[in-house]
Amino acid sequence: MASLKTKTKLYLEANSKTWDAEQDNIILQNDGSGDYIHTWNVSGLAKPSDSQITSYETAGNTEEANSTVKSTRKKLYGNIGDQLDEIYKDIDAWKARIKKIKDDNPKE
């Protein structure tokens, strides 16, 4: 199940808006009965209804799964300096290693 934060970010992006964490234009809260939007100060965009947020469930699940894959790949790729050294020494071995990482960690 996608988080409210992810679904809210997707709603914003779909409406050409962004989440401004510095200005706290959106604040999510949980009072024990689940997450909800406590504060909504997005100029030119109404606070989404529950059904609008729910409509982003599938996209949110994909976004979160792909985020996990990206994080795993980044860790497995290693330091960019080491990768460049590996490319210089043996580009074919580097290509094979990167392909295996991508094949083992596919995006949705």
User: For residue range 6-65, what is the model confidence (pLDDT) as tens digits?
Assistant: 999 999 999 999 888 777 899 999 999 899 999 999 999 999 999 999 999 999 999 999
State how many domains the chain has: 1
**Rounded distance between C-alpha atoms, residue 67 and residue 62, angstroms:** 8
User: For residue range 56-96, what is the model confidence (pLDDT) as tens digits?
Assistant: 999 999 999 999 999 999 999 999 999 999 999 999 999 99
Q: Determine the Cα angle at 82 with ends 77 and 84, to 5°.
A: 95
Q: In 3-state terms, what secondary structure has residue 28?
A: strand
Task: Answer yes or no: are the C-beta atoms of 28 and 39 closer than 8 Å.
Answer: no
Domain, as residue range, for 14: 4-104
